[in-house]
Structure 1
Amino acid sequence: MGSHRSASSHVDDAASSRTARRRSTRSRRRGRTVPLLALVAALVVGTAGWALASRRSDQPTAAGCDRPAVLRVVTSESLLVPLQRAAKGFAGTARARAACATVEVRYLAPTSAADVLALAASSGSDPGFDVWVPDSSTWARVASRRPEVDRLLPDVFPVLASSPTVMAVPEPMARAAGWDDDDPTLQQLLAAAHDPRGWGRYGHAAWGAVRMSWTDVRTSTSGLDTLVTLYAALQADTSSPEQLRAGLLDVQGSLRALDAAPGAALGPLRDESLSESKALARAVALPSTRREVDAFNRTNPAIPLTPVNLRGDATEARVGYLAVYGPRDDHDRRVDAAGAFGDYLTTRAGSQPLDDAGWTVVPATATARSGSAGSLAPLPRLEPGEPGETVVTEALQAWSALDRQSAVLLAVDTSGSMNARVSKGGETRIGLARAAIRASVVSFSDRSRLGLWAFSRRLDGDRDYDVVVPLGRADDRVDGRSRREAIRAAASKLRAAGDTGLYDTALAATRDVRAKAPESGGVVVLLSDGRDDDPGSIGLEKLLRTLERERDTAHPVRVYTIAYGGQADRASLRRIAQATQGRSFEASSPADLQRVLLASLTE
């Protein structure tokens, strides 16, 4: 852990701490905190470079500056207009003049921001922005599933605003069930969805079944935040991976859709041609935020929504101000610009656009340190790092695996280098791989196709790979147990020896998935800690040409590569992934492996 500075450090320390940081090269350590007004300034390293396809604001100019630093901020769609308004207000302040800075605010979806950061981290290039302000800090945890991205993002950062997560329920339904006055638990809502009486149990049989859907956790902030809270609660109440899987299956079994689009799902409530009874017979309850419910109701729909709080499962979407670590020549000016704008956003004037947009902000007058009320930035609320990357990673992988119907073939390097111990007296690389595989396959749907291969050199005659568990449906019986359990058992027996036959294995695994899952395609997860050293192999360039030539765009088989440890051939693994339109991941430290493997299986 890094050294900690108190959150209550005096504001006068800000300037001296910034100066000190300019004289040293900082290495990022987990858990680091700094004086709060200097927090963003200490964490950000300005960057420049790529042109992002995005909506951009008019760029306000700081008065009195000949060559102002341009702070590049990217944000979610719901925050774009408020932050553009704040940037214009900032331009006329003493803070902007002192930092000689202007602010440019652009839209970038959270998933796109994470992808850009991953590419920047792997290539050492500029991500094209200096500060990321997603509409929930959970998106930072999603991005940080990839260790190389995790190193670009701060561990602790200010929270500018928040909005409670709720279930959006049509007002007549919430009133009939009593949920407008008595907050239900999520389990009570799920029980109502299971009840064959539907709304008849509440005296409204004409409304039909109690319909619940989930918004897509890959793109929806409310769907993601509610899932993570649900997963953590189920995890606390269960004693085994199987029980946790059963709990998630029960939830998904209660839902009409796992990727509902709010606009379409709430359409019947806007349709004035429908009677109330017919509209409600088509209506669903969805995860949402109070801000989103209020925004919907401001459109004057035929039937408004009620934001139903979930008793015992309360959480909130927190707007974090995340400075990005990255290469930049004019580091010092970007540090000052990020700090100045971050400070401004916690003042009454700076936070007003967020308040106007329905976010809950910290009142400047409540925590102003000195001077006239609200004239100085308040002590910003800090994001404590919860939920952690592990919970977010596990929740996303478990949720997506339950609904996955395509094929997943795990191909694991079992060459001799995998016997290396990750620390003196510690576990071996192959031991950690065994544990990661066992954890990763538990949640997969019975409809998924799963398989496990091991590879080194000449494991099976002249073949560099061994088909440990053949690819097939997860619920098929293999040696008296489900394929899912057969893979878990076989993973425990993997042994490492020999050299590395990487290229031939990559081609054979891709062809095997294509042959056995032609109607769905799938994924090969290729984990290796070394480089191909088979002199008789297909060779990298021929492998890449073959993969590209055989690619099926309708039912693609993508290779997701995991470079495990410092000796892995990252460049070749990255090119193999690119040839199949897959993704490349890096697990540089032992602690990263399970998180990275789970992240690769969420894609």
Structure 2
Amino acid sequence: MPDAYAPEERGEASSRRRRRTIAIATLLVLAVATGAGVAVKGGLLSFSESCEDSAVRLSLAASPDIAPAVREIAEQTRADEVTSDGHCLDVEVVARDSYKVAEALAGGEAPDFQVWLPDSDLWLDRAKGLGTGIPVSPSDSIASSPVALAMVPSAAGRLGWPEKTYSWAELVATTLGTEKVRLGAADPARSATGLLALTSIGGSSAQQGGDSDTRVAETAKVLAERMSDSDAQVLETLARSGSGAEEGNPKRNQAVLISEQAAFAHNAEAADSGRLNLFYPEDGTPLLDYPYTLVDEEKLTLTQSRAALRFMTLLNDKGSRAVFARYGFRPADGSAEDTVVASAGAKSPQPYATSAAEAPSAKQLQEMLGMWTITVQSARLTTVVDASGSMSTPVPGRGQSRMDVTKESLIQALSQFTPDDEIGLWEFATTLDGTKDYRKLMPTRRLGDPAQGGSTHREKLSAAFAGLQPVPGGATGLYDTVLASYEEARSTYVKGKFNALVLLTDGSNQDEDGISRSALTSRLKELADPERPVPIIAIAVGPDADREEVAEIARITGGDGYEVSDPAEIQAVIFQAIMTAGQNGRAAQE
């Protein structure tokens, strides 16, 4: 099946989508050929009264922004009695927030739908979680919409719209540097639009050089002050009707980070003075890409699978593309259509027709989410590092030991935290400190606090990370260490911060003289308090570590266990774990 509408992409995302296209095309050729044969032999191309009895029914969970368009196509498909293998297609479309679906699938919650249409590829990685959730089988995109910055006309005029163009970093800096322009965004942990925009700002800032991490953290801090839970809610924060009274209202925004389609929908209902103008950053706009995804495919019947693939072909035909355009969506390749972009608020010379920015990698998104979580809430982390003799084991292909690479990764991760974040350090190995298996090297304090010698706690902590050394002959005294460090983290809990214990180990407990595992789990259950959560983020380093053991311990506290084959992956995993634990904690509070 020719892919006439596939975007020209580069890198990992492009390869992944090409693989999907080839696989799905093969299935479709077989399905269409088989279906045509059955229909011709059985005379099922013509029927009406029997349609209801022969229908194959599917449920499709779609992102709320695209659900109305997909529902219209599904209803027309039903009205036209379109068939798959002689069965009428009956597709029910339900609107579901993408982040909620991703969390449910990652948690192994059995879905009540067979097809998922999230607004972005990024939710597919979130849905996979640790690989223990409900499997998903993504295919090609069926529509797209670029992420841009929308402003009420008066604010846009002050920034030189449409003649003046900016990079992402310049546009946001100019907006935030203008006291009369208040910028709002949807929560990047719940909104693909918010996360893609924030990641684009980060990448653009890095191109400027200097301390880009600090600039992005400062931007995130400002955005968090005017954050909304969803894309729909952020539009409700806009100044109304362009009146001076409304624009002067400090609770209302004059600029918002939204998709082109969201601006299209807003402008369709707004009076002229309430329409939005769109800035398209010159260093590229990321796309919402709406990947068509089968859910728990192995449990679908052959009839359901073929029907789902048949509906996907309908969503990509000429008639459906016209329906999507009426709702403000671009084709899957991201090409600009004049009627859509003009209604959304685009105007030349804004670069709305340039190629979309290359999609960020899963690692970049995880790191940005981790940064967002700790920036918005501020973190209080006690880092507990295994110093047993096995940490001197060389890492294949790196010429360094596990401890050396672990230290480097921790120092790199430290640079992502703000001065308000609190971090401490413990090390552990059997008989490290007399009869104790653990030793506190640095207290958990604000990184920006002054320290002796004119330095800061951040600098002292970085030096302490660099000074970690394996203890020759030392074994892994895990259980005693977990209990002691958790008791302290729990007793020194700070309200309003993300409190957690970050545990890194390359082995399982080897101290037979210490507390037993059953006694440890029993004590942790007593200490864990949902009102004062301190999740354990347990990272198993290397092939000798028992991830399941540390994961079971961590889950008692609301945390989880992670595994890295190379200690260089620790930084990304820490931010992913912080983001996940932060989300779980907030969900529990709600």
**What TM-score, normalized to structure 2?**
0.76
Q: Which amino acid aligns with 1:499?
A: A
Secondary structure of the residue aligned to 2:225 is: coil
After superposition, give the CA deviation of every residue in 1:196-239 in whole Å (9 maximum; x if it has no partner).
Answer: xx4xxxxxxxxxx3222333111123211111111111223326
Query: What is residue 327 of structure 2 aligned with on the other side?
Result: 357
CA change 1:227–1:407 in 2 (3 A) is same
Alignment partner for residue 176 of structure 2, among 181, 190, 193?
193
Query: What is residue 544 of structure 1 aligned with on the other side?
Result: 521
Are the counterparts in 2 of residues 418 and 496 from structure 1 also a CA contact under 8 Å?
yes
Query: What is residue 508 of structure 1 aligned with on the other side?
Result: 484
Q: Distance in 1 between matches of 2:58 and 2:386?
A: 44
Q: Distance in 1 between matches of 2:377 and 2:399?
A: 35
Q: Which amino acid aligns with 2:403?
A: I
Secondary structure of the residue aligned to 1:576 is: helix
Q: How does 1:442-453 map to 2 (within 5 A)?
A: 442-453=415-426
Secondary structure of the residue aligned to 2:404 is: helix
Q: How does 1:150-189 map to 2 (within 5 A)?
A: 157-186=139-168, 187-189=170-172
Secondary structure of the residue aligned to 2:66 is: helix
After superposition, give the CA deviation of every residue in 1:544-565 in whole Å (9 maximum; x if it has no partner).
Answer: 3322322333332122223344
Q: Distance in 2 between matches of 1:326 and 1:588?
A: 28
How much has 1:592 moved relative to structure 2? Answer: 4.5
Q: How does 1:322-341 map to 2 (within 5 A)?
A: 322-323=292-293, 328-329=298-299, 335-341=305-311
How much has 1:167 moved relative to structure 2? Answer: 1.5
Percentage identity across paired residues of the two chains: 23
After superposition, give the CA deviation of every residue in 1:63-99 in whole Å (9 maximum; x if it has no partner).
Answer: 7698877655433222333333334445566562368
Q: Please state if 1:499 is matched with 2:475.
A: yes
Q: How does 1:199-598 map to 2 (within 5 A)?
A: 209-238=180-209, 243-252=211-220, 255=223, 257=225, 259-260=227-228, 267=236, 276-282=243-249, 283-284=252-253, 285-300=255-270, 303-323=273-293, 328-329=298-299, 335-361=305-331, 386-423=359-396, 426-478=399-451, 480=453, 481-497=455-471, 498-520=474-496, 522-587=499-564, 592-598=569-575
Are the counterparts in 1 of residues 292 and 312 from structure 2 also a CA contact under 8 Å?
no
Q: Distance in 2 between matches of 1:453 and 1:79?
A: 49
CA change 1:395–1:73 in 2 (3 A) is same
Q: Which amino acid aligns with 2:383?
A: L
Q: Please state if 1:79 is matched with 2:66.
A: yes
Are the counterparts in 2 of residues 99 and 336 from structure 1 also a CA contact under 8 Å?
no
Structure 1: gaps of 5 or more residues:
1-6, 12-29, 44-60, 199-208, 367-381
Secondary structure of the residue aligned to 2:142 is: strand
Q: Distance in 1 between matches of 2:173 and 2:398?
A: 48
Q: Distance in 2 between matches of 1:507 and 1:128?
A: 41
Q: Which amino acid aligns with 2:119?
A: D
CA change 1:192–1:574 in 2 (3 A) is closer
How much has 1:450 moved relative to structure 2? Answer: 0.7
Are the counterparts in 2 of residues 245 and 443 from structure 1 also a CA contact under 8 Å?
yes
Secondary structure of the residue aligned to 2:143 is: strand
Query: What is residue 352 of structure 2 aligned with on the other side?
Result: none
Q: Distance in 1 between matches of 2:416 and 2:163?
A: 36
How much has 1:246 moved relative to structure 2? Answer: 2.6
Q: Distance in 2 between matches of 1:518 and 1:253?
A: 19
Are the counterparts in 2 of residues 216 and 258 from structure 1 also a CA contact under 8 Å?
no
Q: Which amino acid aligns with 1:501?
A: G
Greater relative contact order, per chain length (Cα 8 Å cut-off, separation 6+) = 1
After superposition, give the CA deviation of every residue in 1:455-511 in whole Å (9 maximum; x if it has no partner).
Answer: 232322222222232211111234543222333332233333432222222222222
After superposition, give the CA deviation of every residue in 1:97-146 in whole Å (9 maximum; x if it has no partner).
Answer: 368875454444333333334334xxxx96666543211223335556x5
CA change 1:411–1:472 in 2 (3 A) is same
Secondary structure of the residue aligned to 1:77 is: coil
CA change 1:85–1:421 in 2 (3 A) is farther
> How many positions carry a matched residue from both structures?
525
Are the counterparts in 1 of residues 64 and 97 from structure 2 also a CA contact under 8 Å?
yes
Deviates more, 1:533-542 or 1:355-364: 355-364
Q: Distance in 1 between matches of 2:301 and 2:533?
A: 43
CA change 1:512–1:42 in 2 (3 A) is farther
How much has 1:278 moved relative to structure 2? Answer: 1.0
Q: How does 1:60-139 map to 2 (within 5 A)?
A: 73-90=60-77, 96-97=84-85, 103-120=91-108, 130-139=114-123
After superposition, give the CA deviation of every residue in 1:155-192 in whole Å (9 maximum; x if it has no partner).
Answer: x8422211121212112322344314433444145235
CA change 1:424–1:473 in 2 (3 A) is closer
CA change 1:192–1:153 in 2 (3 A) is same
Deviates more, 1:226-235 or 1:583-592: 583-592
Q: Distance in 2 between matches of 1:537 and 1:170?
A: 65
Are the counterparts in 1 of residues 447 and 458 from structure 2 also a CA contact under 8 Å?
yes
Are the counterparts in 2 of residues 138 and 387 from structure 1 also a CA contact under 8 Å?
no
Are the counterparts in 1 of residues 167 and 204 from structure 2 also a CA contact under 8 Å?
no
Are the counterparts in 2 of residues 217 and 259 from structure 1 also a CA contact under 8 Å?
no
How much has 1:391 moved relative to structure 2? Answer: 1.8
How much has 1:333 moved relative to structure 2? Answer: 5.2
Query: What is residue 24 of structure 1 aligned with on the other side?
Result: none
Q: Distance in 2 between matches of 1:452 and 1:415?
A: 16
Deviates more, 1:98-107 or 1:505-514: 98-107
CA change 1:74–1:572 in 2 (3 A) is farther
Deviates more, 1:482-491 or 1:30-39: 30-39
Secondary structure of the residue aligned to 2:123 is: helix
Are the counterparts in 2 of residues 500 and 532 from structure 1 also a CA contact under 8 Å?
yes
Extract structure 1 runs of 4+ deviating beyond 6 A. Answer: 40-43, 61-69, 125-128, 382-385
CA change 1:222–1:323 in 2 (3 A) is closer
Q: Distance in 1 between matches of 2:446 and 2:288?
A: 40
Query: What is residue 55 of structure 1 aligned with on the other side?
Result: none
Q: Which amino acid aligns with 2:489?
A: V
Q: Which amino acid aligns with 1:515?
A: S
Q: Distance in 2 between matches of 1:210 and 1:307?
A: 14
CA change 1:219–1:363 in 2 (3 A) is closer
CA change 1:36–1:98 in 2 (3 A) is farther
Secondary structure of the residue aligned to 2:469 is: coil
Q: Distance in 2 between matches of 1:482 and 1:541?
A: 40
Q: Distance in 2 between matches of 1:132 and 1:383?
A: 24
Are the counterparts in 1 of residues 151 and 277 from structure 2 also a CA contact under 8 Å?
yes
Deviates more, 1:222-231 or 1:66-75: 66-75
Are the counterparts in 2 of residues 525 and 560 from structure 1 also a CA contact under 8 Å?
yes
Are the counterparts in 1 of residues 120 and 291 from structure 2 also a CA contact under 8 Å?
no
Q: Distance in 1 between matches of 2:209 and 2:411?
A: 18
Q: Distance in 2 between matches of 1:532 and 1:402?
A: 34
Deviates more, 1:225-234 or 1:65-74: 65-74
Q: Which amino acid aligns with 1:517?
A: Y
Query: What is residue 9 of structure 2 aligned with on the other side?
Result: none
Q: Distance in 2 between matches of 1:317 and 1:152?
A: 24
Q: Which amino acid aligns with 1:341?
A: F
Are the counterparts in 1 of residues 548 and 561 from structure 2 also a CA contact under 8 Å?
no
Q: Distance in 1 between matches of 2:564 and 2:134?
A: 12
After superposition, give the CA deviation of every residue in 1:408-428 in whole Å (9 maximum; x if it has no partner).
Answer: 122223333434444356544
